[in-house]
Structure 1
Amino acid sequence: MRRARHARDPEVDPFYDMLFNMLIAFVFCFIVALLAMNPKALKTGDIPSKAEFIVNVSWPDLDPNDIDTWVEDPNGEKVWFRAREAGLMHLDRDDRGLANDVIVVNGREVVNPLNQEVVTLRGVMPGEFTANVHYFDSKNGKPVEVTVSIIKVNPRADVVFYGQLTLARKGDEATAARFTVRPDGSVANVNTLAKSLVQRL
């Protein structure tokens, strides 16, 4: 007569023990890999922010003209296309109109229609900042309508400034906004008083 196999039968237990140990080892390796990738984020639950303020400059899609962004910090440091980093400021995207906007995907040319420049302020520096736009180069001789937004990112997204202005011809420069950052990161004295930043090349 055959006896019933128990859950503690020595012929069955080693197999399940091995599977269970392999599962524990896999979970352990997975947790170690996660900790190695970003230990700070796992400990605090926070992902470090990369910007305190974002200055966004855009002009009409497919416009061939080259508009440049200039931003000056309270120390007089300037960020622009030939100085992409200055102090806590970074020019993250320099757009030259339609230049360099064509890429090849699967043997076909694809045009990126978006015209946009982005400057990030990656820290709180008390004092006045100035954001200007400059009509650097013209391909069609036409005026360009430029939209500028300045957004305070932390602790939540707040629009500090939003406005539009028209650059009539090549070489024109205009102050989009000036704003003062307080020591606590709040913003005051937002205005559009003209201040030239462009260095004549």
Structure 2
Amino acid sequence: MTIRKFFSFRPFIDVLFCCLLMLVAILFLLKTEEEKTKMRPPNVLYEVILTWDGESEDDLDLYVQSASGHIASFNNREGGQGSLISLDHDALGRQRNNSLAVGVAGTVVAFNEEKVSFRGVTEGENIVTVHVYSKKDEGPTKATIKLIKIKPFKELAVKEREFSTTGDEKIAFRFKTDDMANVIEINELSANLVNPIGDFQE
């Protein structure tokens, strides 16, 4: 009695197809990573980005204190002499910053954004807070704060905060850096950069 043996290429084809899918996925991720990196300035190590609804009339301000003690904000955009941080954009809310003039056709991004760039870092702790300069919306305003490493691109922290009244200041996060520019710790211990303890208004 003769037993016929059948050989099928189907399992081999299935494995090959799966490998091709994985290769395509990896190439797509690498391309996305490359595009994100290209969008970032070459002379920046880290960015702290604050965003909130583009329809909001509220004026939120990002405050960043570097480990060297310099503070970048809307009223001190370069952080002072010797600073390695700077505020790239001060968003003022929809009417003053995020809308087109009457009769002008065009497109505007759907969010308000402020960004502080780190051209360098020193060993120590960096502090990030958000302050409400002017609260005009009726309800609370939700804001997102991100800490981004530029090369290779990576979101190191993403925090959300809600603000209800003018004058509110909330910690976004603190992050510690070593002498090799690595972020070694992130925490949310309270801080006040607008009116630090010991400073009094008359």
Q: Do both proteins adopt the same fold according to a TM-score greater than 0.5, normalized to the shorter chain?
A: yes
1:132 and 2:129 are equivalent in the alignment: yes
Q: In structure 2, how many angstroms separate the alpha carbons of the residues matched to 1:96 and 1:50?
A: 26
User: Which has more strand, going by share of residues?
Assistant: 1
Q: In structure 2, the residue corresponding to 1:85 is in which secondary structure?
A: coil
1:164-179 alignment, distance < 5 Å: 164-179=160-175
| Cα-Cα RMSD | 2.2
Cα distance between partner residues in 2 of 1:160 and 1:137: 29
Measure the CA separation in 2 of the matches of 1:149 and 1:80: 16
Pick which of 170-179 and 136-145 moved more. Answer: 136-145
Could you tell me which of 86, 111, 115 is aligned with 1:114? 111
Map of 1:10-29 to 2, 5 A cutoff?
none
**Hey, what's the Cα distance between the residues in 2 that align with 1:75 and 1:128?**
8
Alignment of 1:45-194 (within 5 A): 49-86=42-79, 87-98=83-94, 99-104=96-101, 108-110=104-106, 112=108, 113-154=110-151, 156-194=152-190
Distance in 1 between the 2:107 and 2:170 partners? 29
TM-score (norm 1): 0.70
CA–CA separation in structure 1 for the residues paired with 2:92 and 2:141: 13
Q: What is the deviation of 1:198?
A: 0.7
For residues 107 and 164 of structure 2, what CA distance do their matches in structure 1 show? 26
Identity %: 29
TM-score by length of 2: 0.69
Shift of 1:111: 6.4
CA distance in 1, matches of 2:167, 2:139: 12
What SS is found at the alignment partner of 1:102?
Answer: coil
Q: What's the offset of the Cα at 1:66?
A: 0.4
Change in 2 beyond 3 A, CA 1:49/1:111: closer
Residue 168 of structure 1 deviates from its aligned partner by 2.0
Q: Within 1, Cα distance between the matches of 2:184 and 2:46?
A: 14
1:101–1:111 CA contact under 8 A, matched in 2: no
Q: Which has the larger radius of gyration?
A: 1
Inter-partner Cα distance in structure 2 for 1:147 and 1:100: 18
Unpaired segments ≥5 residues, structure 2: 1-40
Secondary structure of the structure 1 residue equivalent to 2:133: strand
Q: d(CA) in 2 for partners of 1:101 and 1:61?
A: 7
